[in-house]
């Protein structure tokens, strides 16, 4: 008798940022994992269909994972975790069977399907922008960021307009004034270049929109501030998780391409002199990524 379904956890409500590696890193705390699978979405540019499976070596570990992770938050979304229902099994080679519609019908509730459809629709409308960095005035590469219009539209619009410069001011030509390896890089002060200036498109500052998204991975884009409701133009991008910043800074995006460039920026920082990177780092170009380029 195949008992793999008793050891397999079905997880739905996954954000598009989730990949097999990140899902494995979250669930490995409950026990040894046989495999993690995210069914691809062949009908769109999304990397997966919003759900996945984690097969554990032991049933008790699967139960512990369900008990702890059902209704937990991952990449800003509440996920559902439950035991995979009958029909989930493995092939002779050990690969999970997950792409038959009958299997999906058996495992995904109507709420799951609706949430997944809504998420796909919303995520397709999210804005992508790029920042190109120059080291000592020599262009060195771009990062691409997906902005979360679906969660924090007002914060996103501020950043987007500062990338395009359409209001007559913005990020182009400004510097990264603070770099702390292992933590984050900070930029966006295009008036004073030292962390004391900058302004939003709404005035000097605007209120915190919400704290739904978290500082839960490298490459998270968040608003720098000087206290509650003091957002301007300054922002930071994390080099690692920074949960102590949750509910204090508004997260509104994530790097989706160019993490190697971000790591190069990190390598130029100095923990002992965070405002004096080894090379001057400037945003030499920035703007919105065309839809055709973002896919």
Supply the residues annotated as catalytic: 178, 183, 186, 225, 236, 245, 249
Q: What's the burial of 21, exposed, middle or buried (CB within 10 Å: 0-12/13-18/19+)?
A: exposed
**Measured distance CA(237)–CA(209) in Å, rounded:** 18
**Measured distance CA(257)–CA(255) in Å, rounded:** 6
Number of Cβ within a 10 Å radius of residue 129: 23
**Measured distance CA(83)–CA(222) in Å, rounded:** 35
- HSE-CB of 293 using CA atoms within 13 angstroms: 13
**Measured distance CA(192)–CA(138) in Å, rounded:** 22
Angle (CA) 187 179 17, round 5°: 75
Residues in contact with 125: Cβ distance below 8 Å, sequence separation at least 6, in sequence order: 149, 150
DSSP H helical ranges for 125-258: 153-164
């Amino acid at each position: 008798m195949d008992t793999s379904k008793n050891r397999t956890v079905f997880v739905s409500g996954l954000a598009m940022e989730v990949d097999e590696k990140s899902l494995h890193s979250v669930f490995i705390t409950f026990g040894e994992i046989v495999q993690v699978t995210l069914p691809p979405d062949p009908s769109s540019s999304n990397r997966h269909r919003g759900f996945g499976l984690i097969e554990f070596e032991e049933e008790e570990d699967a139960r512990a994972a369900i008990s702890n992770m059902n209704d937990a938050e991952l990449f800003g979304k509440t996920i559902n975790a439950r035991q995979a229902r009958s029909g989930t099994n493995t092939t002779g080679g050990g690969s999970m069977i997950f792409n038959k519609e009958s299997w999906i019908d058996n495992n995904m509730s109507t709420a799951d399907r609706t949430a997944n459809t809504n998420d796909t629709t919303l995520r397709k409308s999210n804005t992508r922008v790029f920042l190109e960095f120059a080291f000592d005035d020599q262009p060195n590469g771009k990062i691409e960021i997906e902005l979360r219009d679906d969660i924090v539209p007002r914060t996103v619009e501020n950043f987007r307009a500062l990338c395009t410069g359409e209001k007559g001011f913005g990020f182009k030509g400004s510097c990264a004034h603070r770099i702390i390896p292992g933590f984050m890089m900070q930029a966006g002060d295009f008036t004073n270049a030292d962390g004391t200036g900058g302004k939003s498109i709404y005035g000097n500052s605007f209120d915190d929109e919400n704290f739904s998204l978290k500082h839960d991975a490298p490459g998270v884009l968040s608003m720098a501030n000087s206290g509650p409701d003091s957002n301007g133009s300054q922002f930071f991008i994390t080099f690692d998780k920074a949960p102590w910043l949750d509910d204090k800074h508004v997260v509104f995006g994530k790097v989706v391409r160019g993490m190697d460039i971000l790591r190069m920026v990190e390598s130029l920082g100095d923990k002992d002199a965070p405002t004096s990177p080894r090379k001057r780092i400037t945003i030499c170009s920035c703007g919105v990524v065309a839809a055709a380029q973002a896919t």
